[in-house]
Amino acid sequence: MNTDEFRRLGHQMVDRIADYWEGVEERPVRSQVKPGSIIAALPDQAPENPEGFAEILADYDRILDPGLTNWPHPRFFAYFPANISPPSVLGEILSAGLGQQAMLWETSPAANELEAVTMTWLRKAIGLPDGFEGTIQDSASTATLCALIAMRERALDWSGNPDGLSGKPKPIVYSSAQAHSSIDKAARIAGFGDAGLRHVPVDATFRMIPEALDEMIAEDRAAGHLPAGIVASFGATGVGAIDPIDAVADIAGRHDLFLHVDAAWAGSALVCPEFRPLAAGVEKAHSLVLNPHKWLVTNFDCSALFVRDPQVLRKALSILPAYLVSEGSETGPEYRDWTIPLGRRFRALKLWFALRNYGMEAIRTMIRDHVAWTGELEALIEAEPDFALAAPRVLSLVVFRYTPEGLDPAGLDNEALDTLNDRLIADINSGGFTYLTRTLVDNRVAVRFSIGNLTTEHRHVIEAWEHVRTVAKSLHG
């Protein structure tokens, strides 16, 4: 493809994206295709000879387009949002076209220094104190893995990397039973194992119980294990649980443990000063992850890891073979030492475009709207005799159960209610009008309704709630 052709097709591609955004509301939210249908429709090996773009795009339209689940849809209320915004997509396109590989300062001073600048902007925007420094990772899962490796090495006095873990006291990490599965995965990869991850019990509002944490740490020490760190959740996935970070941080301080805060989703809300009390004590953490690709107008992937003492992370992850010694490797920031992969994309560009083009005040307004609409939805659910809140609402996540009259939610009808709620979710999602996620609350099936798309307006929330009620009624017909 020569540059003239690229230019012509590139313009078409931007039109295609803009058309998609303009028409997305008319699409089903969740793809309606059957599993395996796309694989079956495509050849099983790459073509030997070049194919024209007209032909490729015709196949895209026919085979792949129906297989899109439409994340930017204004009635996408599943999982947590994975936002896109026009300026961030422009940054993504430019970044891809520039082909920057930011593994060293020298291989892209622009990417590395803009990363430092945007991370400082973001740190100040969420109210983290001076001293914290940030880097952009692909995902919260990677950021948490880095934090766990750092906490392990710190606890082992930096001997795990050179010696391996065998023959050493067993390092232990603590998180609540509500914490995201990325913590379990990181514990496995970082050598804690399932047996080295303690799930601390939660209270009636799904927050980690600090006294239980304290006791577990003392028991582990008494058993000759090596408590290494704690992961506190600021907005866990199931019901949005927010651990009492202040109390947890004090325990971490008393036991000299590393504290990582998983704020992948809710961390974005800290751009609004009124939500910061929910994260009181966060300045005492050693690290915190938040995903601008969730709720901060930046398309996937863009995850910000902040650390109070970058030296701890660097000491745990730094490797400098001869071929990486370069200008800037002494002065930094050399972010390859803050993460797992060597190769790094120019992600700061899309974040910079988005933060500049929206400005923080518009972003705060978006988040405040989402939270206010969720509060309104919560009130509607509470007022509806056939529905019940399954957990306290957190910011823009509300979790409920369908509890029609005649079935006793507290009693013997729980299994029948689980079946009914499963059918409700399945019918809603296969219908395509809106998209919600199933979860378990106290082992009972519940429905998550998570508001966070830039495209969502107040009316979409109301329409989706009305739809939930209609589908619920139809279950009895």
Cα of first residue to Cα of last residue in the chain, in angstroms, is 57
Length of the chain in residues, anyone?
Answer: 477
Q: How far is the CB of 147 from ligand PLP (least distance, A)?
A: 12
Q: How far is the CB of 214 from ligand PLP (least distance, A)?
A: 24
Cis peptide before 109 (omega within 30 of 0): no
CA angle, 81 then 270 then 312, to 5°: 100
Residue 182 contacts ligand PLP per CB under 6 A: yes
Q: How far is the CB of 452 from ligand PLP (least distance, A)?
A: 11
Q: Which is nearer to ligand PLP, 71 or 265 (CB)?
A: 265
Q: Which is nearer to ligand PLP, 76 or 433 (CB)?
A: 76
Q: How far is the CB of 264 from ligand PLP (least distance, A)?
A: 3
Q: How far is the CB of 144 from ligand PLP (least distance, A)?
A: 7
Q: Which is nearer to ligand PLP, 403 or 429 (CB)?
A: 429
Q: In this chain, which of 27, 180, 350, 448 binds ligand PLP, going by CB under 6 A? A: 180
What is the bridge-based pairing of β-strands 197-200 and 303-307? unpaired
Q: Which residues of 202-356 form beta strands (DSSP E)?
A: 226-233, 258-262, 287-290, 303-307
Q: How far is the CB of 274 from ligand PLP (least distance, A)?
A: 21
Q: Is the separation of the CB atoms in 317 and 132 below 8 Å?
A: no
Q: Which is nearer to ligand PLP, 112 or 141 (CB)?
A: 141
Size of the site for ligand PLP (CB under 6 A): 14
Residues in region 216-235 near ligand PLP by CB under 6 A:
235
Q: How far is the CB of 43 from ligand PLP (least distance, A)?
A: 31
Q: In this chain, which of 291, 429, 453, 456 binds ligand PLP, going by CB under 6 A? A: 291
The DSSP element (H or E) to which 56 belongs, if any, is helix 53-59
Name the nearest CA neighbour of 245 among 199, 201, 278, 272.
Answer: 278
Residue 175 contacts ligand PLP per CB under 6 A: no
Name the nearest CA neighbour of 347 among 305, 306, 299.
Answer: 299
Q: How far is the CB of 403 from ligand PLP (least distance, A)?
A: 26
Q: Which is nearer to ligand PLP, 170 or 185 (CB)?
A: 185
Q: In this chain, which of 122, 140, 151, 239 binds ligand PLP, going by CB under 6 A? A: 140
What are the respective helix, strand and coil percentages of the chain, to the nearest 5? 50, 15, 35
Q: How far is the CB of 307 from ligand PLP (least distance, A)?
A: 17
Q: How far is the CB of 237 from ligand PLP (least distance, A)?
A: 4
What is the secondary structure of 110-164 as a DSSP string? Answer: HHHHHHHHHHHHHHHHTTPPTT-EEEEES-HHHHHHHHHHHHHHHHTTT-HHHH-
Q: In this chain, which of 236, 349, 391, 461 binds ligand PLP, going by CB under 6 A? A: 236
- Which residues, in sequence order, are CB contacts of 130 under 8 Å at separation 6+? none
3 state DSSP class of 468: helix
Name the nearest CA neighbour of 458 among 357, 365, 360, 391.
Answer: 365
Strand partners, 171: 226
Q: Is the separation of the CB atoms in 269 and 395 below 8 Å?
A: yes
Tokens of 323: 């071929």
Binding mask 61-100 for ligand PLP (x = CB under 6 A): -------------------x--------------------
Q: How far apart are CA 18 and CA 29, in angstroms?
A: 17
Q: Which is nearer to ligand PLP, 29 or 420 (CB)?
A: 29
Q: Which is nearer to ligand PLP, 237 or 434 (CB)?
A: 237
What backbone torsions phi and psi does residue 437 show, to the nearest 5 degrees? -120, 145
- Which residues, in sequence order, are CB contacts of 277 under 8 Å at separation 6+? none
Please report how many Cα atoms fall inside a 13 Å half-sphere around the Cα of residue 177, on the Cβ side. 13
Strand partners, 447: 400, 438
Contact region for ligand PLP (CB under 6 A) — 57-65, 128-136, 258-266, 362-370?
A: 258-266
Q: How far is the CB of 295 from ligand PLP (least distance, A)?
A: 11
Contact region for ligand PLP (CB under 6 A) — 67-75, 113-121, 134-142, 216-224?
A: 134-142
Contact region for ligand PLP (CB under 6 A) — 104-112, 195-203, 211-219, 259-267?
A: 259-267
What backbone torsions phi and psi does residue 447 show, to the nearest 5 degrees? -115, 130
Q: In this chain, which of 112, 135, 237, 456 binds ligand PLP, going by CB under 6 A? A: 237
Binding mask 260-289 for ligand PLP (x = CB under 6 A): --x-xx------------------------
Q: How far is the CB of 141 from ligand PLP (least distance, A)?
A: 3
Q: In this chain, which of 31, 32, 107, 139 binds ligand PLP, going by CB under 6 A? A: 139
Residues in region 301-340 near ligand PLP by CB under 6 A:
303
Q: Which is nearer to ligand PLP, 150 or 179 (CB)?
A: 179
Q: How far apart are CA 101 and CA 107, in angstroms?
A: 6
Q: How far is the CB of 143 from ligand PLP (least distance, A)?
A: 8
Residues that bind ligand PLP (CB under 6 A): 80, 139-141, 180, 182, 235-237, 262, 264-265, 291, 303
